A and B are shown apart, each in its own frame.
Chain A
């Protein structure tokens, strides 16, 4: 679930590879600031995942196991969606705290039979897997309650070759409901797509640490977010 206020809080585990980013919300942060921060972390973690060889190896394994032939783009996308539907377990975040799991961590958790995450974690996982297979991916933030507040996130992607079913259109992918097929969604009144940049040269989120003079002076990107929230 999106839309709660937060302050980035990085514990020791955050710095290690394939770990969790825990974000705790603070009173007084405007919904817009919260939203901007959440989508930024989301797309950053998708970008980190799609560049991760561990994630790509898993993605290849998923489409191979599903018997998808080469160049069957919709087949690959469907295989990844089904794999997440079958293996990922939806659990809400605690109230006032937002957990973000890296794609690598989620794959390891699935393999160990202890996965849990909410819609934004599912999008990080799906985006990283499909992105690592070369698809353009992004987070599609939606308003599913009709009150003008973005409260849910889906994955969005497209095929390179037009297909009979979707042409060359962008395809929303619902990951938290196993009964939803490609292109289906709950009723939404507003969408806000934010694409991941596969060519980013940014260092991975898990390698960043808010420390030192740079952070104190507000030069670190997450420190900038923090200073924004304090106003």
Chain B
């Protein structure tokens, strides 16, 4: 009969080292924020100009 394989937590402990803390970090920023803000502002300005032209 084979002897039991020794178990431990060495891998778990090594994984908690600071260099592994950003492992698999998911960055939810898409870089689209400024694009959406600027295009929204542009649409707003155009809508305002058109409204002013036809209804004033």
- A contact set with B: CB distance below 8 Å: 136, 138, 140, 142, 154, 156, 158, 169-172, 177, 179-180, 183-191, 193, 195
Task: Name which residue of chain A comes closest to B20, CB basis.
Answer: A193
Binary per-residue interface labels of chain B (23-52) against chain A in the complex, 1 for a CB within 8 Å, 0 otherwise: 110100000000000000000000000000
A171–B9 alpha-carbon span in the complex (Å):
10
Q: Chain B binding site: helix, strand, loop or mixed by DSSP?
A: loop
Question: A187 touching B14 by the CB < 8 A rule?
Answer: no
Question: A154 touching B23 by the CB < 8 A rule?
Answer: no
B53 nearest CB across to chain A (Å): 45
Q: Which of B5, B8, B12 contacts A169 (CB 8 A)?
A: B12
A42–B12 alpha-carbon span in the complex (Å):
21
Which chain B positions have C-beta within 8 A of A169? 12, 15-16
A52–B11 alpha-carbon span in the complex (Å):
29
A55 nearest CB across to chain B (Å): 19
Q: Which of B6, B16, B24 contacts A195 (CB 8 A)?
A: B24
- B contact set with A: CB distance below 8 Å: 4-12, 14-16, 20, 23-24, 26
A188–B13 alpha-carbon span in the complex (Å):
10
User: Beyond A138-B24, A170-B20, A193-B23, is A180–B7 a contact (Cβ under 8 Å)?
Assistant: yes
A180–B7 alpha-carbon span in the complex (Å):
7
Which chain A positions have C-beta within 8 A of B14? 188, 190-191
Which chain B positions have C-beta within 8 A of A180? 5, 7
A191–B15 alpha-carbon span in the complex (Å):
7
Which chain B positions have C-beta within 8 A of A195? 23-24
A189–B9 alpha-carbon span in the complex (Å):
11
Question: A156 touching B8 by the CB < 8 A rule?
Answer: no
